[in-house]
Amino acid sequence: MKVTKKKPALVITGFLGAGKTTLLNQVMESNPDLRLALIINEFGDIGLDAALLKTPGEFVEMTNGCLCCALNEDLVNTLENLKNRDDYDAVIIETSGIADPLTIAWTFLRPQFENKFSLHGIITVVDTQLLSKKEEHPLLIEQIRAGNLLYISKTNELTKSQIQAVSQELENINTAAPLFYSPNTSWIRPLLLDDQEIFFDNPQKTDHANYICESEDLSSRKTTLEEMEDYFESLPVNIIRAKAIFFDHLKNKYFALHRVCGRITFEPLNLKPTVLALVKIKIET
């Protein structure tokens, strides 16, 4: 009787704006030969992270061997769809910024999946500026504790001494997890392909802040990059994350705009995105 090898899986987690989608793009770019089933767990009615991946469509096989599924509700159904397929090498789930990663990871240990998938790691992406606000967001600390690997993003913005201080702070929160630093992602490939599996206790539900998502369709709105930047700068402090994909009718170009911890960044998009929208996440006061 033929024994089918379990498919390796990774969970990429991290707080809002930490850099999860950037990491995922880097993994795909550096491993074009791997056929990855990507599951994007969005928050809110309009999902923008999947639109920012360098893969289009929902469950469309790509030329670089990737499958992409934008998931909002039912992870179980998605894994049911994948569990008996052999047209991919590994599963990567990118959680929403306010997800409990252990709850998502626990799904792989359900009876119908435990012989189909092998969870190889929970990677927590950490933005150091967000780390400075950890007392305001206990969920951020839980995500760090849940990770069996910690990835410090945006290290190009830090000095060597700042990186050392952040590393020590993370080691104080999670003493067991090794640290990796952007932009190096070479450690992910062996993590996916080596025959290893992690185990964890059944997570207990905890209470978190009440996060509210507001979405707006921008497909018919005339705007410019400068107008959107001004709008982002005017957002109140309880908006802890904002992102938009829009068309600048003067520059005749598409842009993605992000606001994290008061920082505003933008990037021009070379391809026409699948969705134009604005998403804001705030803490209810």
193, 220, 240 - which closes a domain: 193
* Number of domains making up the chain: 2
Tell me how far apart the alpha carbons of residues 77 and 72 are, in angstroms, rounded to a whole number: 11
Residues 126 and 78 in one domain: yes
Consecutive 10-residue runs of the chain (285 residues): their mean pLDDT?
Answer: 72 90 88 87 55 48 51 75 90 86 85 91 90 81 91 89 92 91 88 72 52 85 94 88 92 91 85 87 71
CATH at residue 14: 3.40.50.300
Residues 171 and 32 in one domain: yes
Residues 153 and 110 in one domain: yes
pLDDT of the residue at 2: 42
Residues 170 and 247 in one domain: no
In a domain, 251, yes or no: yes
pLDDT of the residue at 229: 95
pLDDT of the residue at 275: 85
Residues 28 and 57 in one domain: yes
Domain span holding position 35: 7-193
- 172's enclosing H/E stretch is helix 160-173
Tell me how far apart the alpha carbons of residues 248 and 194 are, in angstroms, rounded to a whole number: 45
161, 193, 225 - which closes a domain: 193
CA atoms within 13 A on the CB side of 68: 21
Residues 148 and 39 in one domain: yes
143, 165, 193 - which closes a domain: 193
What's the sign of the alpha-carbon dihedral 98, 192, 40, 252?
Answer: positive
Residues 49 and 174 in one domain: yes
In a domain, 257, yes or no: yes
Are β-strands 253-260 and 239-248 bridged in parallel, bridged antiparallel, or unpaired? antiparallel
Residues 180 and 90 in one domain: yes
